[in-house]
Structure 1
Amino acid sequence: MKSELIELIARVLEVLRINMRWMTWNLFLAFIPLALSMWLFRTKRGRSWVWWLGFLVFYAFLPNAPYLLTDVIHLIDDIRNIQSVWMITLVIIPVYLLVILSGFQAYVISLINLGYYLHRISKSQWIIAVELITHALCALGIYWGRFLRFNSWDFITQPDALLTRGIEETLGKQPLLIIAVTFIILVGLYWIMKRVTLGFINQLNNTTTIQSESVNSHRPKAE
Structure 2
Amino acid sequence: MIWNLFLAFIPLVLSVWLFRSRRKNLGAWGLGFMALFACIPPNSNYLKSFLKVLISKITNISLLELGLVFILGIIPLGIWLFRSKIGRSVLWWLGFVLFYGFLPNAPYLLTDVIHLIDDIRTIQSIWIITLVLFPVYIFVILAGFEAYVISLINLGQHLHRVGKSQWILGVELITHLLSAIGIYWGRFLRFNTWDFITQPDYLLTRGVEELLGKQPLVIMTITFVVLTGLYWLMKRVTLGFVRRANDTINVRQSISN
What residue is the counterpart of 1:29 in the other structure?
Answer: 7
Does 2:222 align with 1:181? yes
Q: Give 1:5-20 correspondences, 5 Å limit.
A: none
For residues 9-49 of structure 1, give each alpha carbon's deviation from its aligned partner in whole angstroms, at most 9, with x where no partner exists. xxxxxxxxxxxxxx221111000000000000002793111
2:81 maps to 1:103: no
Match of 1:170 among 211, 228, 238: 211
Matching residue's letter, 2:88:
R
Is the aligned partner of 1:62 residue 2:103? yes
Bigger shift: residues 46-55 or 114-123: 46-55
SS class of match (1:169): helix
2:88 corresponds in structure 1 to 47
Structure 1's unaligned 5+ residue stretches are 1-22, 217-223
Residue identity in the other structure for 2:157 = Y
Cα deviation for residue 83 of structure 1 reads: 3.2
Deviates more, 1:168-177 or 1:56-65: 168-177
How far apart are 1:88 and its partner, in Å? 1.6
Please, which moves more after superposition, 33-42 or 158-167? 158-167
Instruction: Report SS of the residue matched to 1:137.
Output: helix
* Aligned residue in 2 for 1:76: 117
Figure out how many residues of one structure are paired with residues of the other and give that number: 194
Q: What is the alpha-carbon distance in structure 2 between the residues aligned to residue 86 and residue 128 of structure 1?
A: 44
Q: Does 1:201 align with 2:179?
A: no
**Gapped regions of structure 2 (runs ≥ 5):** 23-85
State the shift of 1:81 in Å. Answer: 1.1
Q: Which runs of 4+ in 1 moved over 6 A?
A: none
Q: What does 1:115-154 correspond to in 2, within 5 Å? A: 115-154=156-195
Deviations 1:168-223 (A, max 9, x none): 0221000110000000000000000000000000000000010011111xxxxxxx
Using the alignment, how far apart are the partners of 1:43 and 1:157 within structure 2? 33
Q: State the shift of 1:86 in Å.
A: 3.2
How far has the Cα of 1:94 moved from its partner?
A: 1.1
- What CA distance in whole angstroms lies between the structure 1 residues aligned with 2:205 and 2:181? 14
1:67, distance to aligned residue in structure 2 (A): 0.3
| TM-score, structure 2 as length reference | 0.74
The offset of 1:87, in angstroms, is 2.6
**Partner Cα separation in structure 2 for residue 84 and residue 174 of structure 1:** 37
Q: Deviations over 1:131-159 (max 9, x none)?
A: 00000000000000111111112112211
The Cα shift of 1:52 comes to 0.7
Query: Residue 126 of structure 1 aligns to which amino acid in structure 2?
Result: W
Distance between the aligned counterparts of 1:46 and 1:67, measured in 2?
33
TM-score (structure 1 length as normaliser): 0.84
Amino acid at match of 1:39: W
Letter matched to residue 103 of structure 1: G
Q: Which amino acid aligns with 1:28?
A: F
Is the partner of 1:151 in helix, strand or coil?
coil
Instruction: Tell me the equivalent position of 1:87.
Output: 128
| Letter of the structure 2 residue corresponding to residue 167 of structure 1 | V
2:14 partner letter:
L
